[in-house]
Structure 1
């Protein structure tokens, strides 16, 4: 069984090999929210996602790769988060909350309505088919039990 340090070195080597084989197009395929998808990197190098955050060498190499990709305009630039003043408390608006809740409920009901209409059409189609079968059997003199 390999030690943690050996696994860390192995994962770092796997990452370096993977990085060397990737093209700009490959990197474009795994961008999510302005960063490379960590899950995809972990799959590609054959390690757990936690190794990408717990292995300082690997983490530093991924950060360096992302910086390089930003410099080459493959990844978007980092934007500082907007700061909102937290010392001003906002008044709770019950009508806005109610409207939001009603909008969600309305969307859910519309979706359910669409699904039920499709189910009704399918059942009506089946009923029509079995109605014709029942008529044919009655004409032939064979009545189902």
Structure 2
């Protein structure tokens, strides 16, 4: 079994081999938000997505690859705002998890609301039908006990 350093070197070698087998069209198919999709790159290299972030050599090579693809016109050029934010850490959003849960709950409640509205319509139709039947029976003098 390989230790962490050996596995890191294997991932870098696998990344280099994967890059060598890809064409510009292949790279164009895995673009996501102006960068290469990290999940697709990880699948191609047969490593975890975390390796792309945690392995400094792999991270450096991926950045170089994206710069090369930008020069060749495969990836879109970075905007000034993106360039300014490139080296800054992302701000932690402590309410993101709550927003996700709220969105999920809202979707569930909307679904339940739609189902209940359909049920109410069905029951109102049945009530109307049975109301008319009860009225006819009472006019005929046959009231059920």
Question: Scaled by the length of structure 2, what TM-score is found?
Answer: 0.57
Q: Name stretches of at least 5 consecutive residues in structure 1 with no aligned partner.
A: 84-107, 120-145
Rounded to whole Å, the distance in 2 between the matches of 1:21 and 1:114 is: 51
Partner of 2:2: 2
1:66 aligns with 2:66: yes
Give the distance between the partners of 2:23 and 2:115, measured in 1 at CA.
Answer: 44
Residue 78 of structure 1 aligns to a residue whose secondary structure is: coil
- In 1: Cα distance, 2:76 partner to 2:8 partner: 29
Find the aligned partners of 1:66 and 1:56 in 2 and give their Cα distance: 15
C-alpha RMSD of matched pairs (Å):
3.2
Tell me, yes or no, if structure 1 residue 57 matches structure 2 residue 57.
yes
- Runs of 4+ in structure 1 over 3 Å off: 111-116
Describe the shift of the 1:115–1:27 C-alpha distance in structure 2 as closer, same or farther (beyond 3 A).
farther
Alpha-carbon distance in 2 for matches of 1:2, 1:21: 25
Q: Which residue in the other structure is 1:77 paired with?
A: 77
Q: What CA distance in whole angstroms lies between the structure 2 residues aligned with 1:112 and 1:28?
A: 41
Unaligned runs of 5+ in 2: 85-106, 119-145
By how many angstroms is 1:81 displaced? 2.2
1:61-110 Cα distance to aligned partner (Å, 9 max, x none): 00000000000111000112289xxxxxxxxxxxxxxxxxxxxxxxx8xx
Give the paired residue count: 101
